[in-house]
Amino acid sequence: MRYSTFFPKARKQEFKEDLSTNAILLTKGGFIDQLMAGSYTLLPLGFRVVENIKNIIREELNAEGAQELLMPLLHPREIWDQTGRWSDPEVQKIMYQFKDVHRREYGLSFTHEEIVMNLLSKFVKSYKDLPVAVYHFSTKFRNEPRAKSGILRTREFFMKDLYSAHATEADMADYYNKIKDAYIRVFKRIGFPEVKVVEAAGGVFTDKKSHEFQIVSDVGEDEILFCDRKDKCECKFAQNKEIYKGLPDNKCPGCSDGCLIKSARAIEVGNIFPLGTKYSEAQKVFYTDEGGEQKPIWFASYGIGPTRVIGALVEVFHDERGIIWPKSVAPFQVYLISLDGKSINTEAQKVYETLNENNIEVLWDDRDTSAGEKFANADLLGFPYRLVVSEKSGDKIELKKREEGKEELLEASQVISKINEG
With respect to residue 2, please indicate whether it lies within any of the assigned structural domains: no
CB 92 within 8 A of CB 56: no
pLDDT grade for 396, boundaries at 50, 70 and 90: very high
Strand order in the sheet with 397-401: 362-365, 334-338, 385-389, 397-401, 408-410
Together in a domain, 285 and 376: no
Distances, alpha carbon 329 to alpha carbons 47, 242, 265, 325, 375, in Å: 11, 32, 24, 7, 21
With respect to residue 158, please indicate whether it lies within any of the assigned structural domains: yes
| Residues 27, 13 contacting (CB under 8 angstroms) | yes
With respect to residue 324, please indicate whether it lies within any of the assigned structural domains.
no
Split at pLDDT 50, 70, 90, the class of 6 is: very high
Cβ atoms within 10 Å, residue 268: 21
What average pLDDT does the chain have?
94
Boundary residue ending a domain (319, 351, 384): 319
pLDDT above 90 (res 247):
no
CATH of the domain at 391: 3.40.50.800
pLDDT reported for residue 160? 98
- Lowest-pLDDT range of 26-35, 142-151, 395-404: 142-151
The answer to whether position 5 is within a domain reads: no
Over range 216-235, report the average pLDDT: 87
Q: Is 109 a domain residue?
A: yes
- Looking at the fold, whether 298 and 387 belong to one and the same domain comes out as no
Separation of alpha carbons 326 and 383, rounded Å: 8
Verify that 196 and 270 share a domain, yes or no: yes
Residue 230: what pLDDT? 66
- Write the DSSP symbol of residue 82: T
Per-residue pLDDT tens digits for 52-92: 999 999 999 999 999 999 999 999 999 999 999 999 999 99
pLDDT of residue 205 exceeding 70, the answer is no
Residue 163 and residue 17 share a domain: yes
Structural domain for 68, as ranges:
11-319
* DSSP class per residue in 199-223: EE--TTT-SS-EEEEEEE-TT-SEE
Residue 236: what pLDDT?
Answer: 87
Residue 263 and residue 222: Cα distance in Å, rounded? Answer: 10
Residue 255 has pLDDT above 70, yes or no: yes
* Predicted pLDDT at 13: 81
- By percentage, how much of the chain surpasses pLDDT 70? 98
Same-domain check for residues 349 and 289 = no
Last residue of a domain, one of 319, 350, 367: 319
Statement to judge: residues 303 and 415 lie in one domain: no
Same domain? For 312 and 352 the reply is: no
pLDDT bracket for residue 150 (50, 70, 90): very high
Does one domain contain both 88 and 221?
A: yes
pLDDT score of 246: 78
Kindly report which listed range (14-28, 264-278, 393-407) carries the lowest average pLDDT score.
14-28
**Final residue belonging to a domain, choices 294, 319, 344:** 319
- Residue 326 belongs to a domain: no
pLDDT for res 343: 80
Long-range Cβ contact pairs of 407-413 (< 8 A, separation 24 or more):
412/350, 412/351, 412/354
- The continuous run of DSSP H or E covering 55 comes out as helix 44-63
The CA distances from residue 61 to 55, 160, 163, 181, in Å, are 10, 11, 11, 11
- Total domains, the chain: 2
Position 55 in a domain: yes
Mean pLDDT, range 105-128, rounded to an integer: 98
**Residue 369 to residues 10, 12, 44, 221, Cα–Cα distance (Å):** 13, 15, 22, 41
Is residue 136 assigned to a domain? yes
Are 171 and 127 within one domain?
yes
Q: What is the pLDDT of residues 171-183, one digit of tens each?
A: 999 999 999 999 9
Residues 166 and 247 in one domain: yes
Where is pLDDT greater, at 305 or 405? 305
Range from 90-99, 116-125, 139-148, 245-254 carrying the lowest mean pLDDT = 245-254
User: Can the peptide bond before residue 131 be classed as cis, meaning omega within 30 degrees of 0?
Assistant: yes
Most confidently modeled range among 13-27, 102-116, 254-268, 331-345: 102-116
CA angle 221, 266, 243 (to 5 degrees): 75
Looking at the fold, whether 158 and 204 belong to one and the same domain comes out as yes
The verdict on 376 and 417 lying in the same domain is yes
Which CATH number is 132's domain given? 3.30.930.10
Using CA atoms, how far apart are residues 207 and 88, in angstroms rounded to an integer? 14
User: 204 pLDDT exceeds 90?
Assistant: no
